Structure 1
Amino acid sequence: MAMMPGLAAQVGALGQGRVCARDTATARAAEPWRPALVGTGQRLHSTTTPTTETPMPHSTRITIRSDDIDSNGHVRASQYYNYAVHARWIALSQAGLSVKQLAAAGFSPVELDVSIRYLHELMLGDEIDVNTRFEYPSPKVVKVIQSAIRRSDGAVAAELISLTGLMNLTERKLVDNAAAVWRRFVRHPSMVDLPVTDEQS
């Protein structure tokens, strides 16, 4: 989840549930991490009330584009990671994160470890929902659990687990309590599964 150039503008537009209307070639050159066409990120709905043990994931819809495809005719491996990173930023944006404020305060998310399981091919024109959950297993670490679901048949195309942290850019080290820092910069903590504090209970 390292900070990328042009991220603030991109996240701001995507937080409104649309893709920026600008030249595709220019956008891809400036932001090569940007994935395919994306719909409005949202919380999945359930007929039952989600519990704290099994929070409902945030969902971001993506349509596979021609420049996501490799010489084998399916989505290239690295693009699955780009989809996952993009979905995380959508979730954070809709939780009310201000990227400018986060950067101005001297913090940036960093990737510590990533594992990806490739389960089914994705082809040009496929639509997927990238479901994202956040866990806070230790003070310095945020665990991001994601799955890419093919909408045509419900097949799980990929599963991703990332361990991330927040770096203090002045001290060049991870902050001691990532959840506490994230809470300072989001307006809707429950959207990124931040645990309830004593003040909120």
Structure 2
Amino acid sequence: MTAEAPELLTYRGVVYPWHCDQMGHMNVMWYTGKFDEATWTLFAELGLTRSYLVQNGRGMAAVEQTTRYLRELVAGDTVSITTRLVEVREKVLRFEHAMVRTSDGLIAATSAITGVHLDTALRKACAFPDEVRRRAEAMLGSTGETDNRC
């Protein structure tokens, strides 16, 4: 990949008072939850919708996640998350989220995630279908061979 993949807006929301801990800042569980919602928006863009997963006996599992907390968020802050695909392999996606405080445009947190496509009956990783792979490669701006063996 010669150029960075474009960013996709995957989440918009607000920090509510009940998201905050005893110190008045958004608790880490809520960062994770908002990143999770952004992840499912990315997956839907790729065709990995709930109906696809259920109808095909497939799932997605995060096998690695690294979150960096850069700025504190408080009740009333609005946030957006942009996501960029970093890598697409036969059975694996790597992507990065950036959570931005919309009032000043500063990044509050980032999360880098590696996800694996699963056959839920066999309980093992399997290749993405051609259409998902094509969408992911288009998002990256690349092309490649696809192998659909589980």
Shorter-normalised TM range: 0.7 to 0.9
- Paired with 2:96 and 2:84, the residues of 1 have a C-alpha distance of 5
Matched ranges for 1:1-201 at <5 A: 53-59=3-9, 60-95=11-46, 97-175=48-126, 177-178=127-128, 180=129, 183=132, 189=135, 193=139, 196-197=142-143
In structure 1, runs of 5+ residues without a counterpart are 1-50
| 2-structure distance, mates of 1:101, 1:148 | 28
RMSD value, Cα: 2.7
Question: Does the 8 A contact of 2:14 with 2:79 survive in 1?
Answer: yes
In the superposition, the TM-score normalised over structure 2's length comes to: 0.81
The percent identity for this pair of structures is: 24
What amino acid sits opposite 1:193 in the alignment?
A: M
Cα distance change on mapping 1:95 and 1:142 into 2, 3 Å: closer
Contact 2:99-2:108 within 8 A present in 1 as well: yes
Q: Deviations over 1:161-190 (max 9, x none)?
A: 011101101111011x33x46617xxx926
Structure ranking higher on relative contact order (CA contacts 8 Å, 6+ apart): 2
1 CA distance for matches of 2:34 and 2:138? 17
1:102 and 1:182 mapped to 2: Cα distance? 14
Counterpart Cα distance in 2 of 1:62 and 1:191: 28
Deviation at 1:138, TM superposition (A): 3.5
- Give me the TM-score of the superposition, normalised by structure 1: 0.62
- Alignment deviations for residues 121-157 of structure 1 (CA, whole Å, 9 cap, x no partner): 0010101111111232533321120110111111110
Contact 1:167/1:174 (CA < 8 Å) preserved in 2?
yes
The alignment of Structure 1 onto Structure 2 pairs a total of residues equal to: 144
Q: Give the structure with the higher percent strand.
A: 2
* Secondary structure, counterpart of 1:145 in structure 2: strand
Distance 1:192 1:147 in 2: 21
